[in-house]
Structure formats: C-alpha cells, structure tokens
Amino acid sequence: MKAGGEEDVLIVVDVQRDFCAGGALAVPEGDAVVEPVNRLMEQFRHVVVTQDWHPADHSSFAEQHPGRQAFEVVEMSYGEQCLWPTHCVQGTGGAEFHPDLRWGRAELIVRKGFRREIDSYSAFLENDRETPTGLAGYLRERGLKRVFLAGLALDYCVGSSGVDARWLGLEAWVVEDATRPVSRDQSLTLMRARMAAIDVGSVTTEELSR
C-alpha cells in the first residue's frame, strides 16, 4: 500500500510522557510506538501531532470529583465520561512529547482537552461531539483526504480520531504496530467495533513501506 503522497497525512496522537513508562497514565508498552512512529514520519510529506493539554482542574480528573476514583464512569453534561488520574497538565513535564519522538517534522501541533468542562479524545472533535479542534478545516484547506493514525491510545484517542475522520468524510487507517491500547478488554473491543462499523481501515508499517 503506497502512502505518504500529497493527499495523505500522518496524525501522531498524544505520544507524551504521561502516557509512556513512568507517566501518570502510562499505556502498557506505550514507549514501543516511538520507533515505528519516527519511521512513519520520515515516510510522510505531511505530519500532524496532537497533544493533550489539560488545565490542572480539568473536569475529567478523578480528584475533581470527591468520593470518586480514577477509571470510574460519571455522567457529564455531554454524556458518560471516564474519570482519569491527573495527567498532561499544561506546562508540566508529563505533557511534553516523549523525548525520543522526532516531532519536529510536524507541520501542525493540535492541542486538545484545554477546555476545563469538556474532555477531548479525538483529534477532530471534543467529547461533546460538537466542539471542533479545527483540524478538519486545516486538512480540508490543505487538500489532505487520507488520514493515517498512530500513537496513544488505540482504544480512546487514536480510535476516536479514526471514527471522526470517517464521519467527516475522510479515508482513515490505523497503523496497528504504531499504536497501543490502554486496555485489551472491553474498551478495545468496543472501539474496534466502532471503527469497523464506519470502515476505518487497518494497516501495518511494513505494508506502508512496500
């Protein structure tokens, strides 16, 4: 499968310290995505990276809900929301990109989750499913129509970005060996079903290099 052309864009999702080993919300094997992501960035003419960028009192943090624990699900104004450990706080080391990520090739950095009252998984829309990040308009104006997704984590931000890309009329592919899930249980099963239902494709770095 040939990729990396003028209408293709690689979106590298949230490869940040807090999602990697030793971080506040470490994804199992999260560090393993860095090497394949770096190789992909060399292959693509167009690269976008996203960065979780929360205020310290973000409403998705469990510590903002007395009596609640991390990973509990609560009802927000926009629907169900998983509560998370405090992570990727603006200006902290945990919000920085992984030190080995060669993100300097990115044409755009999309910061998301900076509105206190709404969490943001997708690179395109926040969790209210209405508030845009601006990425869709950027891709449209640049003539970028085929999206390849890598980074962290497959069952939340990467998968949600793929679903929204398709919903917005873009072709979307998840690069399987350049992403990892938070959990290999229910959240991953549900996300794979959502992606399959809307024709988000699956590919590997080897297939993209042929």
Q: Which residues are catalytic?
A: 14, 112, 157
Residue 49 and residue 112: Cα distance in Å, rounded? 11
Termini Cα distance of the chain: 6
CA distances, 100 to each of 60, 133, 196 (Å): 28, 26, 32
The H or E element spanning position 36 is helix 34-43
Structure tokens at 52: 């979780």
Per DSSP, the residues of 127-174 read: TTSS-B-SHHHHHHHHT--EEEEEEE-IIIIIHHHHHHHHHTT-EEEE
Using DSSP, state whether 180 is helix, strand or coil. Answer: strand
Strands, sheet with 47-52, edge to edge from the N-terminal-most edge strand: 108-112, 47-52, 8-13, 146-152, 171-180, 201-203
State residue 95 phi and psi, 5-degree precision: -85, -10
Using DSSP, state whether 81 is helix, strand or coil. Answer: strand
